[in-house]
Structure 1
Amino acid sequence: MSTKKPRIAVNVWNAETRRRRREEFESAPKKAKRRQHTEGGSSNVFSMFEQSQIQEYKEAFTIIDQNRDGIISKDDLRDVLASLGQLNVKNEELEAMIKEASGPINFTVFLNMFGEKLKGADPEDVIVSAFKVLDPEGTGTIKKAFLEELLTTQCDRFSAEEMKNLWAAFPPDVAGNVDYKNICYVITHGESKEE
């Protein structure tokens, strides 16, 4: 994929909102699309989103801002991650999340971070093509053991906890195969395909 997703976005991302944002963008008039593209994302981040989306991001921001001071701090992240079941997150990880912002993470910065990441998201066909390289027979599946080995030994390595979460979300079939097309669909659409 073209950009590394920030841990803060990965941990609190509402996939349904992302799917709706993509649909709204694709159905927007060309003039509006051109205006968004030329604005560069940072001149007025509020113009990048519909009012309902801004409200959803505000609700997410409020949940993360545990002490209600208007700034997401390392302690806020630790508390919200603990409430999501991620205990014992290292200080270094929390500091890395906070450093992804150019300064204190107020709501405008938070919204801008999501806007920037939306611009860098890969489409479904690009992600599927990357998986197809690992599937020479074209079955649409990859062996769990093979995928786990790749994800834990290459590039931005997955931790044991991340692997556990992956298998909980995308359990392999009885033969140990993982449906990577479903993974790609969920990454880009935020929900499983209806069988």
Structure 2
Amino acid sequence: MARFFNQDDIDEFRECFHLYARQKQVRSVDELATIMRSLRLSPTSTELRRYLKQKGGQLSFPDFLEVMHEHTEREKVPGDILRAFEQQDARGTGHISVKELRWLLTSWGDRLSKQEVDRVFREAKIPSSGTVKYEDFVKIMCAPLPDYN
């Protein structure tokens, strides 16, 4: 795992892991959630259960590093989206017009329908015209869904 993380990161992960892991193993979703959230990650309950199940119900520190690698790759998506917005922002304003954002969402990638875009805008409290701070939009759209389990 040293190829994925620098030594400072591994030391931080090790310290946090050993602070919360009982008997040098993580054996519950709650323990894993506490450790990962202490490290500023936002895994959902479903992801946590899957990580624990993949490792047979318990994680040693090397197993935990594998989980951290998998999850940090997953959480890079918001940064990638934000960089794409920044590259298109020639004036560096940090904003995109609502009209242009609507066009992007209905014309590129996994295209959304007009009704889906309306619902996204309504839930994200995006005005019907004007501009949107795209960093805030990315945060809202990429936030993990709450687990009510």
> Structure 2 length as normaliser, TM-score?
0.48
> Structure 1 length as normaliser, TM-score?
0.38
Q: Which has the higher contact order (CA 8 A, sep 6+)?
A: 1
